[in-house]
Amino acid sequence: MTGFLASVDNLQDAITVSEQGADIIDLKDPNQGALGGLSIDSIHAIVDHLWEKSIVSATVGDLDADVSLILEKIGQVADTGVDYVKVGMFSQEHIDKCLPTFEYHARRGVKIIAVLFADTEFDVERTIKKCKKAHLAGVMLDTAGKNAGSLLLHRPVNELSQFIHLAKNHRLLTGLAGSLRQEDIATLLPVAPDYIGFRTALCKDLKRTAAICSQATIQIRNLIPSQSSIAQQG
């Protein structure tokens, strides 16, 4: 079944989306780019507050294809106690040079999600195989340019289905995100990603850098069937 991922940048918004039933609370700073990273102290504070209440992921930031820097940031973010560490694959150099080295942390038990971008070119099958070989926990397809349209403008549904199918065949956790709106949920649920991620659609006035709107969060939660609601229906 598909879960609801909500991206936030502060403790109060993290509490809001947790209370409204988000399945993963994703920590990133929208003012710092597509996968802008929060400070380690901020991540620590949110993880400590949501300990045993919610699953938490966090990004390492929009980093250049610098192996040493990315490995260092993965370690720092993992040490905060997050459940998943998300790392952006912004270029082919990231995929070819950096991604294979993540095995170092993955073999130590760090659950790493490689974030790929629908508005860049990459070989889907080859990249997913690299993720599996590096023992990553999962892959997510997002958009790097937040002003250039949503995920569905960059990739048709059949390509999204292929991405999810290939990743699941390699037993990788899957996610879709990228300036998605409430109306996109009905289109994406049949694709069956493990998670659908939202930021802009959760914010006041649909402004990506604004605070989280509780009502918008409730509306999206209601459009993505939760495990508890399915159990009740059964």
Mind telling me the catalytic residues? Answer: 28, 86
Amino acid symbol at 218: I
Of the candidates 166, 176, 80, the one whose C-alpha atom is nearest the C-alpha of residue 129 is 166
> Are 177 and 151 within 8 A, CB to CB?
yes
User: In the structure encoding, which two tokens stand for residue 90, read together?
Assistant: 């912004």
Length of the chain: 234
Helical axes 40-50 vs 67-78, angle rounded to 10°: 30
d(CA 148, CA 104): 35
User: DSSP strand E in 11-136: where?
Assistant: 24-27, 55-59, 84-88, 112-117
